[in-house]
């Protein structure tokens, strides 16, 4: 279900209607397309996606699921066992979101080739997920689904519609221009769920949707939810931007690489990722809630990468406050983390 019409579609519909009804307003429709380009967020609650994450956690808002859920939970566990390590079941998130129904998932499974030796058994895993969802759907429909939908609707009304949506354009502009990501006019799909495996949010690729964000509203209090949505959206906007877009994140990786940091080094992930945290936290503070505390502080992320966090925060905040150029900030972040690591 779409919780609200995206602004881009609204503008397009408005222009289409204006062109039909008013010669004066019709001028709006004749504006160059470029002036209407703007990425946006599209919030959705899909029962199938919510059920999928419910089965993966095995708990509903802290409560262990009752015994009748056991066969479906076991089948979901079997799915996870097919894909140990790496992204685990998360590699299937996009497929499940874009399928939208168990019948469609089963059709996808039927069309997949059998797993060849040495390849991850994705087909078998997806088949088990489809089975688990099929078994659990009647139980979900008995009431738990409605309660979880209610939880998502409440978070949407209280925090997303009231605080984030009015500032959405400002937030996305601050992220895209600040990180120098090209605006690809991408409508970021954000699937809201009641709960999900730790840490409660993830973004993944999807063939049909390009990329999709999954965010648990139950995992994050207050404005932390808004920062998490913007953080996940930043991942999605970077995917939409394509490889080597020349963004600050790309230049940061290139700067590290030029100093001999290997692609497999954790710094290659942690430095740009920490910058995303710092930037989304500051976006919330500037555009939505001046009292916001960074997710990195409130949920302990910065403490997990203390050296990187200290360097990135110092120089990027100087950049955001106009005391340092972007290129200087990138150079100082690279030099700073390497000095700490050395
Ligand atoms: Zn992230």
Mark out the alpha helices in 100-162 (DSSP H runs).
102-111, 122-139, 145-155
CA of 273 to the centre of ligand 1 (A): 6
Separation between Cα atoms, residue 303 and residue 134, nearest integer Å: 41
- The CA 231 to ligand 1 mean position distance, Å, reads 6
Interval 109-142: pLDDT, tens? 999 888 888 888 999 999 999 999 999 999 999 9
CB neighbours (10 Å) of residue 67?
8
**pLDDT-based confidence at residue 36 (cuts at 50, 70, 90):** low
Q: How far is ligand 1, taken at its centre, from the CA of residue 30, in Å?
A: 39
Give the model confidence (pLDDT) of 208-239 as tens digits.
889 999 999 999 999 999 999 999 999 999 99
Check whether 94 has a pLDDT greater than 70.
yes
**Distance from the alpha carbon of residue 314 to the mean position of ligand 1, in angstroms:** 20
Query: How far is ligand 1, taken at its centre, from the CA of residue 235, in Å?
Result: 7
Burial pattern 291-330, b for ≥16 Cβ within 10 A else e, equals ebbbbbebbebbeebeebbebbbebbeebbeeebeeeebb
Q: Quickly count: other Cβ atoms within 10 Å of residue 243's Cβ.
A: 7
Q: How far, in Å, is the centroid of ligand 1 from the Cα of 232?
A: 6
- The encoded tokens of residue 293 equal 């505390």
- DSSP string for 61-106: TTEEPPGGGHHHHHHHHHHHHHS-STTGGGGGHHHHHHH-SHHHHH
- The SS3 call for residue 317 is helix
* C-alpha 196 to ligand 1 mean position (Å): 15
How far, in Å, from the CA of 107 to the mean position of ligand 1? 31
Q: How far is the CA of 276 from the centre of ligand 1 (A)?
A: 7
How far does residue 229's CA lie from ligand 1's centre (Å)?
A: 10
Question: What's the whole-number mean pLDDT along residues 301-317?
Answer: 98
């Amino acid at each position: 279900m779409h919780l609200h019409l995206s602004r881009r579609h609204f503008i397009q519909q408005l222009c289409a209607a204006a062109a039909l009804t008013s010669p004066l307003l019709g001028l709006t429709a004749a504006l160059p397309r470029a002036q209407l380009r703007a990425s946006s967020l599209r919030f959705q609650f899909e029962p199938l996606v919510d059920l999928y994450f419910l089965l993966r956690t095995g708990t509903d808002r802290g409560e262990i699921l009752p015994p009748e859920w056991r066969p479906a939970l076991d089948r979901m566990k079997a799915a996870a066992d097919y894909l140990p390590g790496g992204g685990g079941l998360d590699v299937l998130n996009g497929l499940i979101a874009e399928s939208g129904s168990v019948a469609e998932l089963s059709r996808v499974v039927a069309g997949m080739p059998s797993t060849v030796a040495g390849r991850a058994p994705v087909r078998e895993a997806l088949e088990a997920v489809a089975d688990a969802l099929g078994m659990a759907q009647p139980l979900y429909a008995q009431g738990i689904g409605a309660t979880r939908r209610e939880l998502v609707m409440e978070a949407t009304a209280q925090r997303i519609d009231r605080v984030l949506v009015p500032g959405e354009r400002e937030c996305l502009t601050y992220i895209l221009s600040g990180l120098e990501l090209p605006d690809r006019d991408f409508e970021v799909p954000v699937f809201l769920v009641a709960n999900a495996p730790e840490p409660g949010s993830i973004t993944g690729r999807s063939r049909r949707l390009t990329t999709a964000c999954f965010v648990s509203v139950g995992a994050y209090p207050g404005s932390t939810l808004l920062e998490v949505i913007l953080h996940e959206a930043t991942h999605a906007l970077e995917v939409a931007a394509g490889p080597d877009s020349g963004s600050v994140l790309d230049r940061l990786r290139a700067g590290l690489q030029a100093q001999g940091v290997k692609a497999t080094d954790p710094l290659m992930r942690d430095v740009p990722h920490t910058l995303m945290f710092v930037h989304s936290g500051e976006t919330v503070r500037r555009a939505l809630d001046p009292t916001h505390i960074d997710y990195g502080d409130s949920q302990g992320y910065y403490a997990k990468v203390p050296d990187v966090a200290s360097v990135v925060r110092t120089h990027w905040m100087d950049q955001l406050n106009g005391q340092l150029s972007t290129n200087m900030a990138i150079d100082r972040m690279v030099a700073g983390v390497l000095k700490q690591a050395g």
